[in-house]
Amino acid sequence: MGETIGPGGGSGTGSTGGGGIATGVASTSTASVALVTPASNTPFTPSTTLDSTVIFQFATAGTIVVTIGPTVGNENNLAINAAVAVNELAVFPCPANWKMVITLTTATLTQTKVVTQ
């Protein structure tokens, strides 16, 4: 008889082997990645309709302050105030339609990605 692969990678022969091959669950959501170019100390909206994850990558070292909030002028929830190194990544969740502000001191951005799902 043929070999079967069971859950967890176990194997056996015939119908009494380690079980069947597990199947995945289909997902109806789709992920999206967008490159954005936020200006220092200027509010931007990562996504108007979906919660998102914002990924900043830094070209030069320096300090950053990131704040988020529900409306322009109310980005008063401090996400981070820290020093960053060259090529370091900083990752922040952001609720749908919230505003985010990154303030850069000496640090510059290589790229910024917004991931929504």
Q: What's the CA gap between 19 and 13, in Å, rounded?
A: 10
Q: What is the pLDDT of residue 39?
A: 95
Where do you find CATH 2.60.120.260 in the chain? 31-116
CATH topology of domain 31-116: Jelly Rolls (2.60.120)
Q: What confidence tens digit (pLDDT) does each residue in 74-88 have?
A: 898 999 999 999 999
Phi/psi for 87 (5° steps) reads: 70, 5
Q: What confidence tens digit (pLDDT) does each residue in 46-56 have?
A: 999 999 999 99
Q: What's the CA gap between 98 and 43, in Å, rounded?
A: 10
Q: Determine if the pTM surpasses 0.75.
A: no
